[in-house]
Amino acid sequence: MNSSTKIVCNNVWKIFGPNPEKTLAGLDHSLSRAEILEQTGHVVAVRNMSFRVEEGETFVVMGLSGSGKSTLVRCLSRLIEPTSGEVLIDNDDVIKMDAAALTNLRRTKMSMVFQHFGLFPHRRVVDNIAFGLEIRGMGKKERTDKAMEVLEMVGLSGWDQHFPRELSGGMQQRVGLARAMAVNPEVLIFDEPFSALDPLIRREMQDELLRLQKLVKKTMVFITHDFLEAIKMGDHIAIMKDGETSQIGTPEELVAEPADDYVREFTEDVPRYKVLSVAKIMQPPENVTLSDNTTTVKPDDKLEALIDLVSSSNGPLGVVDDSGELVGEINQAMVLKAMNSRS
């Protein structure tokens, strides 16, 4: 295993119902979720999921309502007990941990931001933020100081003595974010953090989170049902359907090579020029050679950045990688074709 891999999930299953183990043992794997429900009365919420999350990256789990996203991420810290499978965090098997080790993991390694904020109505903002520290047994003065610090980081200084209900939705989720960051975890888990917010605020919060991510560089697992949000936030995206992975890849891979119709459907609304990069669409160099006056672009440039360049030049452009070597060429027609989602 790669030394910088933070989380590994291997063949995780979660089945809800009166007798999950038995159902899993006798499961006919060719059946769909609906058929299993009909025959056994059990809901297969997570079905044989495997993925890995590298340190410092944002891993997005995307899927429609009921596809098992929340269940999956709750299996990571065993807020929900998986029916079978393996979850490794820093090479420690979470499933095998005893209660004390698990509590310790939750207190130090990971914290979570919730869809409907989950702020305690009986605690002031500052005490909400300090909750995780309080649980750890940190003294009042120390934890309040820490909470104030984080509060400032999310841009809410001055609101510490208010109650959550006195804040707007966006501000409440900032508090939720601050509460999760206050314990300085290695992994942050977001369960649809912004889906209860209206579009403008949502965009603002996404940008805020990206800004903070640059600052703190945490490993993040981010859940959403909004594909645009997924490609904006994610380094890698796992698309879930009926508890299973449809595809895992970078945003670009999903857009360029959707594995099935289910994934393709999501990608159709995506402004492809924002996602696709030169490397995905270039051809081997045939018509260009490297000379001083050829305009060149880089393989990981997004198409968005080239639009002006391509439209003003007639001939093909050379693609040159970091070592200065010519690796391909693109032309106007290729760019235009790539931007058509129904290609």
Partner 1 sequence: MDTGKNRLLMWAAIVLGFFSSIILVRNAGDASVFPAFISDPFQFSEWINQGEDWLKKNYRWFTRMIAGWIETALYTVEDFLIESPWLLILMLFILPSIAYGGLPLGLLTLVGGLFWGGVGMWEPTMQTLALMGMAVILSVFFGILLGITSAQSDRFESILKPILDTMQTMPAFVYLLPAVFFFGIGGPPAIMATMIYALPPVIRLTNLGIRQIPAETIEAAHSFGANRLQTLVKVQLPLSLPSIMLGINQTIMMALGLVVLATFIGADGLGSEVWKAIYKLRVGWSLEGGLCIVFMAIIFDRLSLALGRPKPSALPANTTRFYLLPQSFDIYPIAKIIERPIGAGWNFIAMCGQGFTQIIAVTLGSIVNLFDSVRGQAFVIGIRRHAFLVSSIALLLSISIFDHFFGIGEFLESMQFSFREPVDNAVAWLTVNPAFIAFTKGLRALVYLYFLHPLDVFLTYLPWYIVVAVLSIVSWISVGRNFALVCFCLLMFIGACDLWEQAMLTLSSVLVSVLICFIIGIPLGILSTRSKRFDMILRPVLDAMQTLPSFVYLIPVLMFFGGNIVSAVIATVIYALPPVIRLTALGIGQIPVTYTEVSSSFGGTTSQTLIKVKLPMALPSIMLGLNQAVMMALAMQVVTPLIGGVGLGREVFNALNTSNTGEGLAAGIGIVLLAIILDRLSQAWTQTQRDALGV
Ligand X SMILES: Nc1ncnc2c1ncn2[C@@H]1O[C@H](COP(=O)(O)OP(=O)(O)OP(=O)(O)O)[C@@H](O)[C@H]1O
Q: Which amino acid is at 269?
A: D
234 is a site residue for partner 1 (CB under 8 A) = no
What track of x and - describes contact with partner 1 for positions 256 through 275 (by CB under 8 A)?
--------------------
Q: How far apart are CA 278 and CA 328, in angstroms?
A: 9
Q: Which amino acid is at 209?
A: L
Least distance in Å: CB of 4 to ligand X?
28
136 is a site residue for partner 1 (CB under 8 A) = yes
70 is a site residue for Mg ion (CB under 5 A) = yes
71 is a site residue for Mg ion (CB under 5 A) = no
Least distance in Å: CB of 167 to ligand X?
23
77 is a site residue for ligand X (CB under 6 A) = no
Secondary structure letter of residue 160 according to DSSP: T
What are the start-end ranges of the H helices in the chain?
20-25, 33-40, 69-76, 99-108, 125-129, 131-136, 140-153, 169-182, 199-216, 227-233, 251-256, 261-267, 272-275, 278-281, 303-312, 332-339
112 is a site residue for partner 1 (CB under 8 A) = yes
Residues found in the chain: 343
Find which of Mg ion, partner 1, ligand X, none residue 71 binds, CB within 5 to 8 Å per kind. ligand X
Least distance in Å: CB of 188 to partner 1?
11
Least distance in Å: CB of 103 to Mg ion?
24
* Stretch of residues binding partner 1 (CB under 8 A), selected from 74-82, 151-159, 216-224, 297-305: 74-82
Q: How far apart are CA 260 and CA 244, in angstroms?
A: 13
Nearer to ligand X, 71 or 83 (CB): 71
Nearer to partner 1, 118 or 169 (CB): 118
Q: How far apart are CA 90 and CA 92, in angstroms?
A: 6
Secondary structure letter of residue 242 according to DSSP: T
Least distance in Å: CB of 47 to partner 1?
22
Q: How far apart are CA 190 and CA 113, in angstroms?
A: 5
Nearest to 303 by CA among 261, 262, 332: 332
Find which of Mg ion, partner 1, ligand X, none residue 43 binds, CB within 5 to 8 Å per kind. ligand X
Nearer to Mg ion, 66 or 285 (CB): 66
Q: How far apart are CA 300 and CA 70, in angstroms?
A: 33
| Half-sphere exposure (Cβ direction) of 164: Cα atoms closer than 13 Å | 20
* Binder among 47, 106, 143, 236 for partner 1 (CB under 8 A): 106
Least distance in Å: CB of 13 to ligand X?
12
Tell me which residues touch partner 1 (CB under 8 A).
74, 77, 79, 103-108, 110-112, 114, 116, 118, 120-122, 131-132, 134-136, 163, 165, 183
